Homo-oligomer: A and B are copies of this chain.
């Protein structure tokens, strides 16, 4: 298929008709909020490699933003996004608007309970309700074989996996590694908000998490000690304001008093008004 053949649509009937022309084919799906970076493109590439058809959605979902958050200023550049996706051989881009996704009278929500209580869920109430609701809608619209998410939003990947298992969605959730800038900063559409000094300061997230991994490798297993050490590193950066630092179980997301053979280290930090998140997984090495 030539790159120019990529379909761009905001029509549900067009999407469905295309999807069901080859009902038994495999469809990879990458839901995004646009303003694509290398992280998103790595998902599209993985989907391209694993499926006969690839669908990417671009939709800045209002129900996952709190009124105080950056919905209106969230960066958008559809033309650039489409050019990038053409370059990855994507077959169809679904780019709906709010009137299509949340028509008057909309009143149905999907909620995941325990997995959304801590971390991002604690800092951003209703955030995950918005995520799971729009992802359920997109899953039902695209009906993909596999859906691709980045590890960068680690809790989101856990919550989506839980939703897929609990509601018996007929698809596989694939979580792909976080893509980073050369200096370690996790790629994020929100990095665009950073001034040059803030951009420099933002490396504190990945430096802190890596330090946590080193402490774990050196044998530290006490959750409180690990969190305190990492918190100290964040607080040493004058442009950073800590939201949370976590040493949790990678599946249950429960904070760990004592680390066993695996953990997820995660943090949310304000750099100026920009809220950044990052995480790293740790596993004990085989003896």
Chain A: residues with CB nearer than 8 A to chain B?
Answer: 12, 16, 20, 23-24, 105-115, 132-133, 136-137, 140-141, 143, 162-163, 166-170
CB proximity of A75 to chain B, nearest CB, Å: 26
Contact of A136 among B24, B141, B167 (CB under 8 A): B167
- Evaluate contact between A110 and B107: CB separation under 8 angstroms: no
Number of copies: 2
| A50 CB to nearest B CB, Å | 18
**In the assembled complex, how far is the CB of residue A241 from the closest CB belonging to chain B, in whole angstroms?**
32
User: Do residues A167 and B113 form an inter-chain contact, with CB atoms below 8 A?
Assistant: no
Verify B108–A108 contact, CB threshold 8 A: no
B23, B107, B111, B170: the one contacting A162 at CB < 8 Å is B107
Point out the residues of chain B lying under 8 angstroms from A110, CB to CB. Answer: 108-110, 136, 167
Q: Known contacts A137-B167, A143-B170: does B107 contact A108 (CB below 8 Å)?
A: no
Extra contacts besides A109-B111, A137-B167 (20): CB < 8 Å: A12-B168, A23-B24, A24-B24, A106-B166, A107-B112, A107-B113, A107-B166, A108-B110, A108-B132, A108-B162, A108-B166, A108-B167, A109-B110, A109-B113, A110-B110, A110-B167, A137-B166, A137-B168, A140-B167, A140-B168
* A24 partner residues in chain B, CB cutoff 8 A: 20, 23-24
| Docked-complex contact A140 and B107, CB < 8 angstroms | no
Least CB separation from A16: chain B residue: B170
B108 touches A163 (CB 8 A): yes
Most chain B C-beta atoms within 10 Å of own C-beta, residue among A110, A115, A133, A168: A168
| Residues of chain B within 8 A of A132, CB atoms compared | 108
Tell me the complex Cα distance, A109–B109, Å. 8
Given A23-B23, A167-B136, A168-B141, A115-B107 contact (CB < 8 Å)? yes
A114 to B109, CA, bound (A): 12
Closest to A129 in B: B111
Closest B residue, CB atoms, query A101: B168
Nearest-neighbor residue (CB-CB) of A102 within chain B: B166
Among candidates B20, B108, B141, B169, residue contacting A140 with C-beta atoms closer than 8 Å:
B169
Cα A110 to Cα B113 in complex, Å, equals: 11
| Nearest-Cβ distance from residue A109 to partner chain B, whole angstroms | 5
A111 cross-chain contacts in B, Cβ below 8 A = 108-109, 111
